[in-house]
């Protein structure tokens, strides 16, 4: 066999392998692999894991819960029922990114209002001489809060 044929086959098989792994990772929901039989079911039918909220809304004996009379319910019916949690329509990473964009937008809006759009006060702020009247008020030690024991003694 020629060396160019070997290289050509290796490149072709690598691209086919890469293509098949992409398909396998993106289409796992459509795989036909048989799931293991759950030993805890003990003869109870192993039904597909499909939420009742994903089924069509009309054509049921009980349209509210989307069930028919006498129908076998799923082992995890409390999760798959109409009252169970919904399946997220978007990827969690995309949801986190959108949430962070919203938080950044609110923070930016707040900071813009506080520092850019808020006008300066019309009056000059009051200033005191002698380091803010430290000397006149008795010094820094006299202005500190008294401990609780000293207040109770007086």
- pLDDT attached to residue 88: 82
**Quick one: tokens of 74?**
């799923």
Nearest in space to 107 (alpha carbons), one of 92, 119, 93, 99? 99
Nearest Cα neighbor of 50 from 24, 33, 68, 75 is: 75
Q: Say what the pLDDT of residue 128 is.
A: 78
Please report the pLDDT score of residue 24 as a whole number: 47
Q: Note the pLDDT of residue 110.
A: 96
Q: How far is CA 135 from CA 100, 127, 128, 131, in A?
A: 50, 15, 11, 8
pLDDT tens digits, 111-149 = 999 999 988 888 988 887 777 777 777 777 766 777 777
Q: Which residues are within 8 A (CB) of 72 and not within 5 positions of it... i.e. 6 or more apart?
A: 45, 47
Residues of the chain with pLDDT below 70 are 1-33, 142-143, 150-154
């Amino acid at each position: 066999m020629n060396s160019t044929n070997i290289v050509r086959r290796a490149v072709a098989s690598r691209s086919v392998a890469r293509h098949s792994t992409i398909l396998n990772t993106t289409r796992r929901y459509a795989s036909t692999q048989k799931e293991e039989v759950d030993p805890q079911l003990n003869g109870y039918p192993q039904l597909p894991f499909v939420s009742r909220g994903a089924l069509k809304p009309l054509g049921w004996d009980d349209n509210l819960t989307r069930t028919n009379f006498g129908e076998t319910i799923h082992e995890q019916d409390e999760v798959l029922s109409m009252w169970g949690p919904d399946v997220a329509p978007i990827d969690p990473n995309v949801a986190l990114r959108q949430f962070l964009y919203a938080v950044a937008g609110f923070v930016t809006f707040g900071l813009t209002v506080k520092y850019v759009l808020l006008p300066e006060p019309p009056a000059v702020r009051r200033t005191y001489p002698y380091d803010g009247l430290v000397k006149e008020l008795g010094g820094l030690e006299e202005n500190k809060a008294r401990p609780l024991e000293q207040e109770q003694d007086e």
